[in-house]
Structures are given as C-alpha cells and as structure tokens.
Amino acid sequence: MSNSGKTTLIEKLVAELTRRGYRVATIKHNRQGFEIDHEGKDSWRQKHAGAVTTVVASPFQVAVIEDVDRDYDIEELVNIYIRKADIVLVEGFKGNPFPKIEVYRSELKRDRLTGPNDNVLALAVDSMDHADPNVPCFDRNDTTGIADLIIQQYPKRQQ
C-alpha cells in the first residue's frame, strides 16, 4: 500500500541489520514495470537492438537487465539473483507465503492488508491503538525492536 512507510522501514532495517554484521539483500516488486536503463546509453542501445540480457559492470557494481516471460516469485528471484546475503527483505508480493511485517499507517484510513492466515511476523504501526493482540506489534520507528525479532526468528547461519 503506497505511502504506508514500507520503503522507509526497509531502509532503516537494512542499516540496522548491516550494523549488526548481517549481509542484507532487498527485493522490490513493482507490478507496473520499471526502467533502470536510459535511452541513448550503450546498454540501452544494446538491449533495444535485441539482446535478451544486458549486464552493466564496473569495479563497484553489476546490474542485469533481462527480459523475462513472466513475473518471478520471491523464491525464484532469490535463487537466480541473490548471492552473499544472510537476510532478504522484500517489499511487495502481498500474496506470498513468507513471513510478513505489515506497516500500518492509521492516517491513510485503510484496513489492514493481512489477516490471521497471512503468516504475519509482526505489525509496525504508527499508534498502538492499532495493535493486534495476536501479533507482535512495534512502533514503526522501532527499528531496533523489529530487527531483534527478525534475528530471533531467523538467526544468522554459520558459513
């Protein structure tokens, strides 16, 4: 749900978990599609000439622009693209089976997106008036508490 604070929470969780020594990856799902390449750039020209995959590489970053024939699910994206991460935080993919932290902002005057069968790990709320007695609830700015819960539920694997 737009403007609820999901991206802000993920950004803060990435910083907090990284500070604690975790290697964090993120996935952002966008149903409308997106463009990361810019018209006229070499990689854009190669892609638009017909390349099914274009890799842009530097000594500091790698980006893959690849045509796909369908919307991959979270597990496929992790298996194909995510390496060297202890934790993957995902924004979007509302109907997935993985544990979720719902960010709820009361001023948007909307119902919660998740229910009792949605594998909700926690709620991050702007007011404890919206707490759910069946789910751990945190102030949406309590990044430390939410990170503690994530680490408790999903401890770092020894490598």
- Confidence category of residue 94, pLDDT binned at 50, 70, 90: confident
Quote the CA–CA distance of 157 and 155 in Å, as a whole number. 6
Beta strand pairing status for 53-57 and 62-66? antiparallel
pTM: 0.83
Quote the CA–CA distance of 29 and 9 in Å, as a whole number. 16
DSSP string for 65-122: EE--SS---HHHHHHHH--S-SEEEEE--TT-SS-EEEEE-GGG----S--TTS-EEE
pLDDT in tens, 33-75: 666 777 888 888 898 898 998 888 999 988 888 889 999 999 9
Identify the structural domains of the chain with CATH numbers, from first to last: 6-33+69-153 (3.40.50.300)
pLDDT in tens, 128-155: 777 778 889 999 999 999 999 999 988 7
Share of residues in the chain with pLDDT > 70 (%): 91
